Structure 1
Amino acid sequence: MRQRGSSIKLRLLEVPMEATLHQLEQLSYSLVERLAFTELDQLNDYMRERDALFIALQQMTVTPAQKQAHQSTVKRILQMDEVIVGRMKELRAAAELEINKLSNGRVVKNIYEPDAYEQESYFFDQRK
């Protein structure tokens, strides 16, 4: 009877971990499904939620049996993370390209503005 009680206790301890991992997996899966159309602000929202779930997981005490039981879930999450990181890199490259275009545009604009050719010094002919 005592063993059964400890088994129930162990099972109750696993529930928050299972629920948190399931929530993380669902969050990642829903993002991966719409990843091609995901913008930077949506990725920021995802990262905030993901960080909160990771903090919750880090605060849990994990037994080796729990690690083994949830290993496949963690692998699926890590595979989705690779895809998500790839999209993040694409968005970062696109943002860098746009920033460079803006920067180059400002340089060209400054060259052709009328103020760019104003003289800062004047020469006086002192011959009389």
Structure 2
Amino acid sequence: MEDVDLPHDLISIIDDDASLRLATSSLLRSMGYITEFFANAEDFLGSGDLSRFACVVADIQMPGMSGIDLTHKLIAANGQAKVVLMTARTESDIHKRARESGAVCLLQKPFAADSLLKCVGKALEPEGER
């Protein structure tokens, strides 16, 4: 039997839709990731040492702080942010703001499992390899 080297990175999932949080968490856990999830950006920011998270997967539109604003806040605090943004919105200005925010990837809901895994993999690559 071959040993499989699974990732053990901690990924934060932030979305006000409980079913999407659970589905996203289940998928990432099935691939070996460890997840914590939050209903909004404020709960995430108040959760303690944010450096423990290797990556953040966040919805753009949530009550309170948006995923785009969260990305800006993380970059201002750390100089970088390994953020994957998700949205069900189709307006081009939202997509443009998301791309310009510094997020690593933007997922259009509904998204395929392989798209999420590809974006998370890209976010976890060393800085020079992205």
Return the TM-score normalized by structure 1.
Answer: 0.23
Higher helix share: 1
Return the TM-score normalized by structure 2.
Answer: 0.23
Higher relative contact order (CA 8 A, sep 6+): 1
Higher strand share: 2
Q: Which has the larger radius of gyration?
A: 1
